[in-house]
Amino acid sequence: MRETGDGQEQLNTGTAHSARVYDYILGGKNHYEADVAAGDAMVAMWPALPVHMRANRAFMLRASRYLARERGVRQFLDIGTGLPTSPNLHEVVQRVAPDSRVVYVDNDPIVLNYAQALLTSTPEGRTTYVEADMRDPDAILGSAGFRDTLDLSEPVALLVIGMLHFIHPGDDDHGLLRRLLDPLPAGSYLAATIGTADFAPEEVGRVAERYAAEGMPMALRTHEEATAFFAGLDLADPGVVQVHKWRPDPGDARVRDEDIAMYGGLARKPH
């Protein structure tokens, strides 16, 4: 089963959007000239950016597969899904468990416009799209898509991938995350990636300046600051590490630490 949100908004194709820049750099097809220009400028500043972005997405796929296969999770709430490049989260988890349910959340109208074609669930499972912003948890938790798709008597995996560096401390970053986690039952999980300049400060700093110039200011965090997002939760091994070091698959290509500007971690909400 698949569903999308209500209504469609006019796209602003003249301004770069983080999800579309991400799509362009990953080799997708859902972007515009402004996104291409911004992406090319960022890659010129830091040629490792495509490697970094692919590693971030690979973390999401490994973490979701681990949750479905090793932890028996069957419900997923993906905040800031962006423009997915196959395989998507629901494809990965429904391959493990066809009855898995996924709620995708994003605030970019282009995602809503493409959702009908992109979100094709198994007959046993369900994928739903909710148009909302992470900065408004009540809109997510109060949406019909969330209420009708996820059963809060069973664990839910909350995924916040490649989002938190666009949420500044002044936006109550920890509070927003807690408001999303609090309604989820014990035994639920948080999987998150957090941008950092710890390993390539000059290059990543220049990319951050370009994002800011495009109207997308970033907050890059230290390892200690990244780990703080998992406070009160039980971290799975190997803890909060650069995304390419989190349970890599055998045969994964070797990646240099300085080419990755993202920490990742997965943690369980205790009883």
| pLDDT tens figures, 132-141 | 999 999 999 9
Which residues, in sequence order, are CB contacts of 82 under 8 Å at separation 6+? 18, 19, 22, 23, 106, 108, 111, 162
Alpha-carbon gap, residue 203 to 188, rounded angstroms: 36
Alpha-carbon gap, residue 3 to 124, rounded angstroms: 14
For 236-258, how does the pLDDT look when each residue is reduced to its tens digit (9 = 90+)? 999 999 999 999 999 888 999 99
For 44-92, how does the pLDDT look when each residue is reduced to its tens digit (9 = 90+)? 889 998 999 899 999 999 999 999 999 999 999 999 876 666 788 999 9
pLDDT of amino acid 118: 67
pLDDT of amino acid 19: 75
Domains and CATH numbers, the chain: 2-268 (3.40.50.150)
